[in-house]
Chain A
Amino acid sequence: MAQENQESAPHGVASRQERVESARDTGGFVQNGVTWVSPQFHDPGCVAGRASRWFGWTGAGRAVIARAAMAWIGGYPRGVNVEVTPLPGIGTRQDFMTRSGRRVGVVTYRDGRFDLIISQREDPDACSASVPLTPEESATLANLLGAPQLVAQLRDEQRDVAGIATKQFPIVHGSPFDGRTLGDTAMRTRTGTSVVAVVRAGDVHPSPRPDFVFTGGDLLVVVGTSDGLRAAADLLAHG
């Protein structure tokens, strides 16, 4: 299924222990203290996907209870409830209600095409926009939305360590390292910084090994001192 590649992990601010457990339950994994959950919606229909995933519950009934409980405890649950609706003969619709009261989501066709959908303000049942996206375009959009989240999260984790910062750098098409490996950059040796993750097509590849091959459109998440990061930017731009 093509859409699974497109789903990057959204993050709540759960305690680390909880995150580790939930990640194990749902087949995700924990890396550098960051949880990467790859959501897989096996249960078609309105599933409180997020709530059931955090608690490792799968029954729709339990999920409803979990959602109700969370609402009762106070305010909106930590995550976002992604509603998955099968569209027989067409594909699936996955959407969620934003805080501002509009539905945002995607319609995934069976042949792998996507429509980005945004509901109307006056009539939440209807769509004011339904934008067809090619796989490349949706991957780009996923990167744009997903990578800053990742960087923010890493920045939070490293706040305690003075002098360390996290930045994201794109590998643009035709850049010196488009098609070359991480090892080729000699980043650690030359700048003292580390590439902790690569975001590609909305998927996070954590701790890439030296033989990891970059392609145009990748976003590198790099950790280091501010001087090191400046050097890294220079290195990636000019080789």
Chain B
Amino acid sequence: MHSTAVSLIELGAVCFGLGVLGRLAWRIGISPIPLYLIGGLAFGHGGLVPLGGIQEFTDIAGEIGVILLLLLLGLEYSAAELVTGLRRSWMAGVVDLVLNAAPGAVAALLLGWGPVGALVMAGVTYISSSGIVAKVLSDLGRLGNRETPVVLSVLVFEDLAMALYLPILTALLAGVSFWGGMTTVGIALVTITVVLVVALRFGRYVSAVVDSPDPEVFLLRVLGAALLVAGIASQLQVSAAVGAFLLGIAISGSTAENATRMLEPLRDLFAALFFVVFGLNTDPRQMPPVLGTAVALAVVTTVTKLATGWWAASRQGVRRLGRLRAGAALVARGEFSIVIAGLAVASGSVSPDLAPLATAYVLLMAVLGPVAARVVEPLATRAMALLPQRV
């Protein structure tokens, strides 16, 4: 029997440790996500200091972390932005999808993980981390740049793609038949359409349900609504994360802004715990064998994101340097790749090597992304300066 005191000490140590890691990360100018993952690896099975007593709490905290990550992603964009974004940038979005999902899927098939494993890895390599990208763009003062709307609209498309992808993935991971899968896809499509229409036409009524002038009441209502919707969605075999995401889209206007402001600290806390839980459940001793694959995937998907950004920006008449900046900004993968891998690992229907591969891959990309965004411009200018001398 584990005493409460020990659990509290362990939890406190984990949170404090994460705080130290987070500060370190921002100091050296990278996202804290890789450091959280490393923290989890150090504490978990086969790690340096195995933790025992807080498993139950951290598991549910991790679940809440996923729900909050997706809820805030939904809150970030209004339904109108999603629809105009989709209309204007669907071609760039499709190019992004094809170029970046393919490497993951191919790698999984080559490793013999079957179609479900391929779908999971396609998601992991496809989705950029909108959190890291937004932070990097604003840190580097690029919000006023011409290529920035291009980058943002690619992110918008990715988020909509997630809303379709997650229910399909959940259904396939649960091992439903082909027709069962098609039904889930149909339900997902109908649900998303209904939510978008409701959000566009009746967004204020949805907002009114959760809105309150009292911050305490408001926080409880938003959080309660998110967990309820997520729970019901999960009961209906649609993923909990998708439920929260769609709720986020349906909440709009000033309510969405207030909710974002209020939930951000909670999201940061629970998401950090989610990354730790993912790290905890990954055995670091399994990582060296998959490291080669992870590095190869990192190289290939860096190039494919660069190509995506280059192509999308060139369609908007952005010059070469701007196209490179757009591509480099998209390189970072992070929280959502881990969310996808986490869903797959939890279901137990994929290869046990998937978690270490996804961890290694995200560790690389979350570090590489911000660095790439920073160095692409000086590197390109230097290369351009060198080029005429050789010719």
Contact = CB atoms under 8 A, between A and B. Distances in A.
B257 A90 contact: no
Given A107-B143, A127-B141, A89 B148 contact: no
Contacts of A126: 142, 145-146, 321-322, 325, 377
Given A88-B85, A115-B143, A125-B321, A93 B152 contact: no
Given A86-B84, A88-B153, A89-B155, A125 B322 contact: yes
Interface string A96-127: 00000001010100110001010100011111
B206 interface: no
A130 B153 contact: no
A119 B145 CA distance: 8
A218 B145 CA distance: 33
A87 B149 contact: yes
A123 B321 contact: yes
A95 interface: yes
Residue with the highest number of chain B CB atoms closer than 10 Å, among A89, A95, A111 = A89
Residue with the highest number of chain B CB atoms closer than 10 Å, among A86, A107, A111, A126 = A126
B385 to A, nearest CB: 13
Interface string B77-115: 100011011001000000000000000000000000000
A85 B318 CA distance: 14
A111 B257 contact: yes
A119 B387 CA distance: 26
B335 interface: no
Contacts of A85: 149
The range of chain B's interface size is: 20 to 34
A55 to B, nearest CB: 25
A125 B143 contact: no
B211 interface: no
A148 interface: no
A179 interface: no
B76 interface: yes
The secondary structure that dominates the A interface is strand
A117 B143 CA distance: 9
Interface residues of A, number: 24
Given A123-B321, A126-B322, A88 B81 contact: yes
Interface string A158-182: 0000000000000000000000000
Given A88-B156, A89-B134, A89-B155, A124 B84 contact: no
A86 B88 CA distance: 12
Contacts of B76: 88-89
A183 interface: no
A93 B257 contact: no
A115 B156 contact: no
Contact of A89 (B77, B147, B321): B77
B257 A125 contact: no
A210 interface: no
A130 B141 CA distance: 6
Given A86-B149, A88-B152, A88-B155, A93 B144 contact: yes
A27 interface: no
B142 A127 contact: yes
A239 interface: no
A220 B146 CA distance: 38
A124 B144 contact: no
Given A123-B322, A125-B319, A90 B143 contact: yes
Nearest to B81: A88
A126 B143 CA distance: 9
A168 B148 CA distance: 40
B40 to A, nearest CB: 28
B149 A93 contact: yes
B130 interface: yes
A226 B245 CA distance: 65
A12 interface: no
Nearest to B153: A88
Nearest to B144: A117
A85 B151 CA distance: 13
Contacts of B130: 89
Interface of B: 76-77, 81-82, 84-85, 88, 130, 134, 138, 141-149, 152-153, 155-156, 257, 261, 318-319, 321-322, 325, 377
